[in-house]
Structure 1
Amino acid sequence: MGSIDSYIFRTTLTSFAVVMASLTGVIWITQALRGIDLMTSQGQTILTFLGLTGLAVPVLILVIAPIALMIAVAHTLNRLATDSEIIVMNAAGLSPLRLFRPFVYATLVVSAIVILIGAYIAPDGLRRIARWDSEITADVLANVLQPGRFAQLEQNLTIRVRERQPGGLLVGVFIDDRRDPNDRVSIIADHGTVLKNSEGSFLVLEDGHLERFQAGQQEPALVAFSRYAFDMSKFSRARDVAYGIREHYLWELMWPDPNDPLLKQLPTQFRSEMHDRLLAPIYPFFFAAVTFAFLGLARTTRQSRNFSMIGAVLCAFVVRLAGFALSVIANQTPYVAGLQYLLLVIAIAVSVWLIRRNVVIEPPARLVDALNALTASLSRLVRRPMPA
């Protein structure tokens, strides 16, 4: 790799890393705010909150990476054009296709990252989220018992906690257990804590009273206790985690287990997800090629690059939107998946052809004249004095 290639390669990847981190951070914050109830209402720690939301970041990267690469390529080309470096390299005999080569190297790096994330990292993160969510949901004391509310765990079992304090201390615990029709138990305790061990989960109550109503007895039995363990194991068992299609690794989608119940239930969606994973590393090449086709060719400083930038964004948006539409249709019609590959091949081929033929994409003259006339009219309208 020569000095020019190395310079463009480093600049593009540096810009990509900055844009990628910025976009991912903004979107991650918006998504993470939806799960803030993990700390406020379910009593989870900040580490649990960050862990659950952080595991979803690889999924965001799969969508953001091509866009971040497009912005990085546009930034690099705009920097080269501002310093007239593209014109100098073109005058020195460097063809547009040759100038496009370091951008291809950068795209290969981005594509490799997308392949790794799509094949293993993203589905593994979703699996961890599913397991973690199962454990949190199964934790009754964190998920069901809300301070100040009566929680009916079973038809004849009601528990209320007045307040939850730091350190897992539950203040003002009330339990009404009527599961046994011949033995009704009511418990009031000053405070309690959760104890989990190999024998199960227990709500350890301290400084309280237990009132037992037994069938055939006229008066209840009242017992004061300093420490009492109420068995909660039945309500703290994690459910079996069933992984969805997105939680499958790429090789599981390509060579699925014939006995997989999800494959038998949704065979078309199974294949559609596989094609989406295989297409993900191809999209960066299209985004880089279409951006270079609009912005990478030598032009004078009088030629506006605004139209070229808008044109590149519109083309990328149309092709990506068409890809999403075909992906949705492929969930019901398997052969449509082949059209997604054809769409990208044609889009990349047209972009490379424009680069090779050194075709500068400019707006039509009539459109430019109309825009200039509109701008002039607006300028005169702004400068017109207001009537007294």
Structure 2
Amino acid sequence: MGSIDRYIFRTTLVSFAVVMGSLTGVIWITQALRGIDLMTSQGQTIITFLGLTGLAVPVLVLVIAPIALMIAVAHTLNRLATDSEIIVMNAAGLSPIRLFRPFFYATMVVAALVIIIGAYIAPDGLRRIARWDSEITADVLANVLQPGRFAQLEQGLTIRVRERQPGGLLVGVFIDDARAPNERVSIIADHGTVVKNDKGSFLVLEDGHLERFQTGKQEPALVAFSRYAFDMSKFSRARDVAYGIRERYLWELLWPAENDPLLARLPTEFRSEMHDRLLAPIYPFFFAAVAFAFLGLARTTRQSRNFSMAGAVLVAFVVRLAGFALSVIANKTPYVAGLQYLLLFVATGTCLWLINRNVVIEPPARVTEALNAFNASIARLIRRPVPA
């Protein structure tokens, strides 16, 4: 790799990292806001909140990476064009297809990243989310016990919490336990917290009193306590987690077990997910090729690149939208999956053919003249003096 290739390769990957981080961060924030109730209504910690939302980031990367690469390629090409470097390279005998080589190397890095994420990291993150969500959902203190409501956990056991404060602190706890046939226990505590260890889950109550009513006795036994542990283990057992299609690793989709119940129940969706994983690393090559086809050829400084930028975005949007549509149809019609590969190969091949042929994609002359006339009229209106 020569010095020019290294320069373009490094610039493209740095731009890709910046764009990727920015887009992922923005989308992650919008997604994370939906799970803010984990800390508010369910009393989970900030670690749980960040963990659950952060594990979904690899899934976002699979969709964002090709778009971020296209923006990075367009930014690099625009920078080269602004400094007239593309014109100099072209005059020195560097063909467009040769200039595309460092962008191709950068695309290979992005494609390898997408393969690793799609094959292992993204499904592993979804599995961790499923297990974590199972534990949170199974935690009755976080889901069933809502402030101000009487919750009957089972026949004869009722619990009420007046308020839930940050950090999982439960204020104003009332427990009525009538499960035993010969006695009834009522507990009132100022506050309590949940403690989990290898022995089980316990609601540790502090500053309260316990009243025990036994059959045959007229007066209840009253006990004041500073600390009392109420066993809640039977209500905090996580359910068995059944992984869906998106939680399967790539090799599990390629070579599934013969007795896989999910494959037997949803064979078409199973194969559709497999094709989506295999297609994911191909999309970066198309996005890089379409950006270069519109923006990578030598132009004079008087030729506007706005149309080329808009055209590249439009073509990429149409092809990606068609890919999404074919993916949805493939969930019901298996043979449509082959059209996804055909679409990408034809679109990418067309872009490479245009690059190799040094075809400059420009709007028709009439469109250019109309746009120039419109811009000139807007400029005259702006410069027109305002009457006093």
Same fold (TM over 0.5): yes
Q: In the alignment, what sits opposite 1:299?
A: 299
Alignment of 1:183-332 (within 5 A): 183-214=183-214, 217=216, 219=218, 221-226=220-225, 227-332=227-332
CA contact (8 A) 2:45 2:167 kept: no
Distance 1:370 1:167, change over 3 A: closer
Q: In the alignment, what sits opposite 1:149?
A: 149
Further displaced range: 157-166 or 36-45: 157-166
Give 5+ residue unaligned stretches, structure 1: none
Determine the C-alpha separation between the residues in 2 that align with 1:297 and 1:79. Answer: 13
Q: TM-score, normalised by structure 2?
A: 0.93
Give 5+ residue unaligned stretches, structure 2: none
The CA deviation string for residues 198-243 of structure 1, in whole angstroms up to 9 with x for no partner, is 332222334433334556x584623214254322111100111111
Q: Output the amino acid matched with 1:17.
A: A
CA contact (8 A) 2:184 2:213 kept: yes
Determine the C-alpha separation between the residues in 1 that align with 2:167 and 2:269. Answer: 45
Distance 1:220 1:326, change over 3 A: farther
CA contact (8 A) 1:211 1:220 kept: no
Q: In the alignment, what sits opposite 2:170?
A: 170
Q: In the alignment, what sits opposite 1:91?
A: 91
Determine the C-alpha separation between the residues in 2 that align with 1:205 and 1:277. Answer: 50
Determine the C-alpha separation between the residues in 2 that align with 1:380 and 1:209. Answer: 84
The CA deviation string for residues 23-65 of structure 1, in whole angstroms up to 9 with x for no partner, is 1111111111111111122222211111111111111110110
Percent identical among aligned pairs is: 85
Q: Output the amino acid matched with 1:224.
A: V
CA contact (8 A) 2:263 2:270 kept: yes
The CA deviation string for residues 182-205 of structure 1, in whole angstroms up to 9 with x for no partner, is 544322123333333333222233
The CA deviation string for residues 274-293 of structure 1, in whole angstroms up to 9 with x for no partner, is 00000000000000001000
The Cα shift of 1:180 comes to 4.8
Q: In the alignment, what sits opposite 2:374?
A: 374
CA contact (8 A) 1:212 1:220 kept: no
Q: In the alignment, what sits opposite 2:357?
A: 357
The CA deviation string for residues 73-101 of structure 1, in whole angstroms up to 9 with x for no partner, is 00110111111111111111111011111
The CA deviation string for residues 321-379 of structure 1, in whole angstroms up to 9 with x for no partner, is 00000000000000000000000000011000100110000101111122233334444
Determine the C-alpha separation between the residues in 2 that align with 1:167 and 1:19. Answer: 36
SS of 2:52's equivalent? helix
SS of 1:302's equivalent? coil
Determine the C-alpha separation between the residues in 1 that align with 2:242 and 2:29. Answer: 28
1:341 aligns with 2:341: yes
SS of 1:205's equivalent? strand
The Cα shift of 1:106 comes to 0.4
Determine the C-alpha separation between the residues in 2 that align with 1:80 and 1:196. Answer: 59
CA contact (8 A) 1:206 1:225 kept: no
The Cα shift of 1:171 comes to 3.1
Determine the C-alpha separation between the residues in 1 that align with 2:15 and 2:207. Answer: 62
